[in-house]
Structure 1
């Protein structure tokens, strides 16, 4: 992660505030993330130049509680609170929210200080002239071992001398010259750790090659969509439990990496004539199916032609409840999708349905359908994509895992691929937050357990 000095941050923020150039254009000009520049601009507007000269701070319990209370009262997002309170760590507020939700105020209290480590015992406090002959010989032997040890570690891997395994390798290579006890003292390694690392080096994991093959097969089957955590989950589903750090290391050695996500196209235009409240208010967690739905429209371009997808997602498990695909962004794109989704509801289910302020969702027919079936409408605030983050996330996944990884020679092939991908997404694609299950599997297990 790049670090920028206060002078540069102030320069960029002033440029954004005092010129007519958009924040996005300024971010592109300086090679920065849009969100980074937006945060600097907000800091400058709230605190001026002082906002970029923060001192290292310790956040005590009253301060953390004050931040969370302010967020609750004023409806602040984590990003807004970070800027308002000048919190240096961008992820701190999110961690405080999770800790408070799990354990209340007590979970936010700082941990007790760790006991001080005893100082390393020196070999001898005697001056050389007071040592006996045997003591001098032992001191010389230790100094020779202490001199040879770092040379050996540098020979094994220049620039990387740390780590218990590397220390054990160096000690093993010097045992013909120096006694083990002196080498262990020079390396500051315990005897038990040395023998354990020796055993590991002498008996490498015979199953590592087979594990690499399984990882490669899962990665190829997902067409490069899975990162190391999802691969770890899929391995567990197949009966091969292993640590995610090990999978991460092996994927790195094999050069396997999840494809980079490309940001989605936004098509909102015009002013809103009919606006309802943001009743969802970013509360994306739900306890049962068909309690909260989200929807939006996204656009694809192939061979100079356009295709539009309008899905409805259930926030309970991320399942695509219904969708429509058309070549024009007409009302039926949304209307027929809504009709299809409503057919899947039982008589006692009346979910909230959240969208942006697009013209389709302000349409009289759309609002009439919602009223007829007692569905509550909710809309994002204008220009705030985070209010519909779950739908944004699906579109990002869809485009990075499907659209940008394939080439299409016609609109028909793209449409067929979309149908196939959505079926895969619902039925087969596992998710970390669903405990390694696909959306449909997660819903079916929950319903069978109820």
Structure 2
């Protein structure tokens, strides 16, 4: 472990200071016992040889003591607190052995302290030969269990079912797919009996799967519509788009989209809050969650929402018309200050005629309680309405607009590398698309602008 040079250097230093501790402290080696041995070997007379310890291996004092003695010794030394040296001298085994027993007991329990004689096994009892009939029964059970395992595995891998699926709840088409995957491993009759599938149903499904897909063209059209709408349209609005094209289908759209894994991803949003306390007197909640309007510019809703991207934060302040969800005006900014909502309100007021004075409902955010907002409302004769404190359902129609907007154009997209200016342009284009092209089921599968044109409200 140590070279001759290291031993020589340690012995020279010891001759100078005559201290074991100082040698170890200065050199960092060897152990105290090693240095004692080196000194003893150097200073012992020539021809001296240490006497070998004679092990007392008698029936009364075996070389390998019993498990009972080891456990009693550990109990006395480390539970009752008796002196290890005194116990060692009493039982005739070294202190190192006692500590070794304790270490093994802590790591692996009493089993680690057992000797061969502590657990005599004896002779094995004579067995009886099993009958061939029982062997065949066991083989059949093993094959049946292996069949269940293979069916479950293919159900998870091929059909993408959840673990713990009920085999009896599978459709005949799904059962036929599993049979095709494993038909070279088991007999067909064994499969059909296990899956409770009749032979006629199996061959019917085989013929159906081999026949051409009569919905192939419809699948392609549905996929294109799903992609062109930025993967934001569910089966109801896809159905509406197909109906506008003159394609008449029913519940098949939902099934086809499920088979093609065309799913709209929805993410929970974090709401931006502009509440800064009761800085001015609050006004009454006039709208009282009645978001229905019989005419445009009769009830308006507004709020502020936040878009956080790697490049920074962007804030949107729109007006939502309760009549059809149209956005008469909006403003986008990188700071949620008073000018954001005030300029937005100026733009919205500019769209009104002299006879139109809509009710504007807001939350209790500070922007709607500052002098700039209040003076604009009073000067144009617009009526204010406010939600209760911390009650988002009081402005749920506006919150719903924010949720749809973010689910369709913001969430589930990677905005890394997109600058603030580019994001504002994308957001602005999405709002124009929302007004002019995005269809709503409640509007007869028309966009807000198309709906107003159908009523003759706009050119």
Q: Given the two structures, how large is their TM-score scaled by the length of structure 1?
A: 0.54
Q: Which of 334, 351, 359 lines up with 1:327 in the alignment?
A: 334
User: Quick check: 2:311–2:420 contact (8 Å CA) kept in 1?
Assistant: no
The answer as to whether partners of 1:312 and 1:322 remain within 8 angstroms in 2 is yes
1:136-147 to 2 correspondences below 5 Å: none
Q: CA-to-partner distance for each residue in 1:163-207, whole Å, 9 max, x for gaps?
A: 9999xxxxxxxxxxxxxxxxxxxx9xxxxxx9xx99x97998964
Deviations 1:26-47 (A, max 9, x none): xxxxxxxxxxxxxxxxxxxxxx
Q: What pairs up with 1:8-47 in 2 under 5 angstroms?
A: none
Aligned length: 270
In structure 2, the residue matched to 1:259 is: 265
Distance 1:315 1:335 in 2: 20
- Who is 1:350 aligned against? 357
Equivalent of 1:410, from 399, 408, 419? 419
The residue number in structure 1 matching 2:228 is 221
* 1:248 equivalent among 254, 269, 293: 254
> Structure 2: how far apart are the matches of 1:394 and 1:435?
18
What is the CA distance between 1:413 and its match in structure 2?
Answer: 1.1
1:283 aligned residue: 290
Match of 2:345 among 331, 338, 341: 338
Q: In the alignment, which of 443, 446, 449 is matched to residue 452 of structure 2?
A: 443
TM-superposed deviation, 1:261: 3.0
C-alpha contact 2:452 2:458 (8 A) present in aligned 1? no
Q: Does 1:307 align with 2:321?
A: no
Contact 2:316–2:332 (Cα < 8 Å) also in 1: yes
Determine which of 379, 386, 396 is the counterpart of 2:393. Answer: 386
CA distance in 1, matches of 2:373, 2:457: 34
**Deviation by residue 1:320-356 (Cα, 9 ceiling, x = unmatched):** 1101111111111001100101111111111101110
CA distance in 2, matches of 1:440, 1:403: 23
Q: Distance in 2 between matches of 1:344 and 1:226?
A: 30
2:434 matched to 1:428?
no
Match of 1:237 among 223, 226, 244: 244
Moved over 4 A (4+): 160-166, 200-207
Q: What's 1:371 paired with?
A: 378
- Measured on the aligned residues, the alpha-carbon RMSD in Å equals 3.3
Say which is worse superposed, 402-411 or 420-429, in terms of deviation.
402-411
1:274 and 1:161, CA in 2 relative to 1: closer, same or farther beyond 3 A?
A: closer
Distance verdict in 2 for CA 1:298–1:311, change over 3 Å:
same
Asked if 2 retains the 8 angstrom alpha-carbon contact of 1:264 and 1:396, the reply is no
Question: Residue deviations 1:349-375, cap 9 Å, x none?
Answer: 111011101111011121111111111
Given the superposition, is the C-alpha separation of residues 365 and 449 from structure 1 closer, same or farther in structure 2, using an over 3 Å criterion?
closer
Seen in structure 2, the aligned counterparts of structure 1 residues 207 and 438 have a Cα distance that, compared at 3 Å, is farther
Contact 2:289/2:394 (8 A) holds in 1: yes
* C-alpha contact (below 8 Å) 1:261/1:396 kept by paired residues: no
CA offset at residue 159 of structure 1? 3.8
1:72 corresponding residue in structure 2: none
- Structure 1: gaps (5+ residues): 1-153, 167-186, 188-193
Aligned to 1:51: none
Kept in 1: contact 2:342–2:373 (CA 8 A): yes
State the match for 1:71 in structure 2: none
- CA contact 1:354–1:379 (8 Å) conserved in 2: yes
Aligned residue for 1:353, secondary structure, equals strand
- Specify the SS of the correspondent of 2:296: coil
Give distance in 1, aligned partners of 2:405 and 2:428: 11
